[in-house]
Structure 1
Amino acid sequence: MFSHKSLLLLSVFSLASHSLALPFEQRGFWDFGIDGDGGGSMTVMMRDEEEGSAVEELPPPDFHVCPFGCHCQLRVVQCSDLGLTEVPKNIPSDTKLLDLQNNRISELKENDFKGLSNLYALSLVNNKISKVHPRAFTPMRHLQKLYFSRNLLTAVPKNLPPSLVELRIHDNNIKKVPAGAFAGLSKMNCIEMGGNPIQNSGFEPGAFKGLKLNYLRISEAKLTGVPKDFPETLHELHLDNNKIQAIELEDLRRYKQLYRLGLGYNDIRNIENGSLSFVPNLRELHLENNRLTRVPKGLPDMKYLQVVYLHSNNISQVSIDDFCPRSFGVKRSFYNGISLYSNPVQYWEVQPATFRCVSDRMSIHFGNYKK
């Protein structure tokens, strides 16, 4: 008969033998369910599954299919540089940003963006798009940024989303902007449409009606003068790289809120006296690479003007009152940039007092003139 000590030693030995057993080796799928009760729990689970009382059928996992070749992450779908000839299918409905640039897409069909009501930004830059269905953008109720540059468009797409804030359609083949081209786009803030062969006559009266733009760029076009029918709300107007020959008295009358005016790289020979008085809030004026022979009149009266680009013109003389007013206190913002290099002006002959309203001498840029 075993004593109490013998029984205790036997129990300890039994536990030790279990602890020294070989590591668990899975031999089948259900091995993970076998526990220390000899498989009783697994038996109960299998019996309950047969009776339909313990285990319910789970729904399939919720995941989105990413279009073949694209990268999908955090509601951003990138399908650029894939040689696509059409908008891919199965784009997740929660997509916020869709990148389709640098492909070979030639047409936008009616249902290409079906279900993409959450889209915020769409990039179609550098494709071959020449045809857009009138209802292609209908599903996009929240689209704010549309990048359509470097395509083959011959007209502004119709029925753009009313939610649109920014539109970039430069480097296309648009020659005409008809009346009502931007109708219903009351939230539009920025339009970039340079690089299109648009002439002044290409803008029909009312083309920008209803818009309250802050920024407009029509550079590298075929403008011969400043159009007079742009939105009067503009803070920035860029018309560089055109064929504008002069600024007439009435050209800027409509744009009283301008902060920045870009007229560089034109053929401007003359700016009529009094023209700049219509833009009293101007901060920055670009007139570089033109054919001016003198500093424009009216600069001393512009209280907030800080930057003037006049380099690469034909200015041969700078007078003492060309930039600064005679009366003290008239100029509220001192100049922090005046460029006069690449002009036939003898800078050593310019009186120091000419720049009395400049914040720092380093703000004046002269240079050697070589013709």
Structure 2
Amino acid sequence: MRSACLSLLLVSVCWALPFRQSGFLDFMMEDEPGSGDVDMGGPPVIDEPRRGPAGPGADPVPTGPVCPFRCQCHLRVVQCSDLGLKSIPEDINADTTLLDLQNNKITEIKENDLKGLKALQTLILVNNQITTIHAKALAPLGKLQRLYLSKNQLSEVPANMPKSLQELRIHENQISKLKKASFAGMANMIVMELGSNPLAAGGVEAGVFSDLKRVSYIRISDTDISAIPKGLPASLSELHLDGNKITKVTKEGLKGLKNLAKLGLSYNQISSVENGTLGMVPHLREIHLDNNELTTVPPGLPEHKYIQVIYLHSNKIAVVGTEDFCPPGYNTKKAMYSGISLFSNPVPYWEVQPITFRCVFDRSAIQLGNYRKK
């Protein structure tokens, strides 16, 4: 009897379906043809081969985003730097937001080179050989915010830049003059880098910055301009004019800059700072006047409530008085000095009275040092 039961059990096992391990997400395939499930109640389901397009009316085969040859593309960023390109590549995806073309050999931006890139926000063309940009080349870029054109051979600021532009870097080119219309309508500009261009003494026309209502940072360094440009925007918080040929600082030059916090005037030929000049910039925190021709400490420092850092090293200052930096009484200056440099001046540092620096935060903030004749 036991032998007969064992025989029946073996037969039933042989008729059973083979074991199949269920994989992750197999439940999604239960209703799909060819999923591996066997229907015991009918004939097996056989997948039909997929057919290609049957004619001109068929749907086209979908393709992915196009990436220019040798470039690297990821999401909406197209990187084509360091490829020796002589022109802007074709087939750039229309939804590109950042296009990097730096360190190539591009010489010209033609009218239709950027056509269709209406979503572009950043264009990097640093270190090419660009001499001309067509007057209509930048017009289609209605969402452009950052334009980097440094280290090229442009002789003028590009025409018809998008009004959406917030940052322009165009230093180290061949621009000899900033015309009044150069930045017309650029009301959204915040950062502007214009240094290391061959600007002449009068190379900045009056009113050139009049439309820049929001700009907070301007750098015009290493040029031949001989005075602080007139009509600078009241919104400025940083102004860098280092390495020029400015000979004096006047009230008119800083008039209206009530928001200015940092002023760079190093490496000029400044011999005087006019009385009342520092009163034009009541919120100034930091001023660099090193490597100039000053013979005295600039007037107005004791009355200024917020200046904390002043660089005066490498000048011709021979005397420092007890009231050159601090007001007569104690605790009348709202912000204590955190940095005063006076080294490389012909002032006998051992004759400077300690009370001179009574409104300095810490003695380590004072840099005197010996004077050595060159």
CA distance in 2, matches of 1:205, 1:366: 40
CA distance in 2, matches of 1:337, 1:294: 18
| 3-state SS of 1:299 partner | coil
CA distance in 1, matches of 2:145, 2:240: 22
Q: Select which of 307, 316, 319 maps to 2:318.
A: 316
Distance verdict in 2 for CA 1:34–1:312, change over 3 Å: same
Q: Which residue of 2 aligns with 1:29?
A: none
| 3-state SS of 2:130 partner | coil
Deviation of 1:300 (Å): 0.8
Q: Which residue of 1 aligns with 2:305?
A: 303
Question: Any idea what the Cα deviations from partners look like across 1:318-359, whole Å, max 9, x if unmatched?
Answer: 111110011344311111111111222222221111111011
| 3-state SS of 1:46 partner | coil
Question: Any idea what the Cα deviations from partners look like across 1:55-85, whole Å, max 9, x if unmatched?
Answer: xx87634521111111111321111111000
Q: Which residue of 2 aligns with 1:25?
A: none
Which deviates more from structure 2 when the two are superposed, residues 61-70 or residues 234-243?
Answer: 61-70
The code of the aligned residue for 1:288 comes to D
Distance verdict in 2 for CA 1:200–1:232, change over 3 Å: farther
Deviation of 1:35 (Å): 6.4
| 3-state SS of 2:302 partner | helix
Does 2:112 match 1:117? Answer: no
CA contact (8 A) 1:244 1:266 kept: yes
Q: Which residue of 2 aligns with 1:7?
A: 8
Q: Which residue of 2 aligns with 1:90?
A: 91
Does 2:291 match 1:294? Answer: no
Question: Any idea what the Cα deviations from partners look like across 1:272-311, whole Å, max 9, x if unmatched?
Answer: 2222221111110000111111111111111110100111
Q: Which residue of 2 aligns with 1:24?
A: none
| 3-state SS of 1:362 partner | helix
Identify, as 1 or 2, the structure richer in helix: 1
| 3-state SS of 2:218 partner | strand
Q: Which residue of 2 aligns with 1:367?
A: 369
Q: Which residue of 2 aligns with 1:101?
A: 102
The code of the aligned residue for 1:156 comes to V
Distance verdict in 2 for CA 1:34–1:150, change over 3 Å: same
Q: Select which of 338, 355, 358 maps to 2:357.
A: 355
Deviation of 1:136 (Å): 0.9
**Aligned runs of 1:31-42 on 2, under 5 Å?**
41-42=44-45
Does 2:273 match 1:268? Answer: no
Distance verdict in 2 for CA 1:257–1:340, change over 3 Å: same
| 3-state SS of 1:82 partner | coil
Question: Any idea what the Cα deviations from partners look like across 1:166-209, whole Å, max 9, x if unmatched?
Answer: 10110101111222211121111111101011124222233222
Q: Which residue of 1 aligns with 2:155?
A: 154
Distance verdict in 2 for CA 1:351–1:169, change over 3 Å: same
Question: Any idea what the Cα deviations from partners look like across 1:204-247, whole Å, max 9, x if unmatched?
Answer: 23322211221111000111111212223222111100011112
CA distance in 2, matches of 1:274, 1:34: 90
Q: Which residue of 1 aligns with 2:23?
A: none
Q: Which residue of 1 aligns with 2:194?
A: 193
The code of the aligned residue for 2:332 comes to V
CA contact (8 A) 1:33 1:41 kept: no
Which deviates more from structure 2 when the two are superposed, residues 57-66 or residues 164-173?
Answer: 57-66
The code of the aligned residue for 1:141 comes to G
With normalisation by structure 2, the TM-score equals: 0.87
With normalisation by structure 1, the TM-score equals: 0.88
CA contact (8 A) 2:228 2:253 kept: yes
Deviation of 1:36 (Å): 5.1
CA contact (8 A) 1:323 1:354 kept: yes
CA contact (8 A) 1:33 1:42 kept: no
Consecutive unaligned residues in structure 1, runs of 5 or more: 20-31
CA distance in 2, matches of 1:344, 1:41: 103
CA contact (8 A) 2:206 2:229 kept: no
CA distance in 1, matches of 2:209, 2:221: 17
Deviation of 1:11 (Å): 2.8
CA distance in 2, matches of 1:41, 1:298: 97
Q: Which residue of 1 aligns with 2:235?
A: 233
CA contact (8 A) 2:330 2:358 kept: no
CA contact (8 A) 1:95 1:119 kept: yes
Matched residue count: 351
Q: Which residue of 1 aligns with 2:169?
A: 168
The code of the aligned residue for 2:10 comes to L
CA contact (8 A) 1:288 1:312 kept: yes
CA contact (8 A) 1:180 1:208 kept: no
CA contact (8 A) 1:35 1:41 kept: no
Q: Which residue of 2 aligns with 1:345?
A: 347
CA distance in 2, matches of 1:247, 1:92: 51
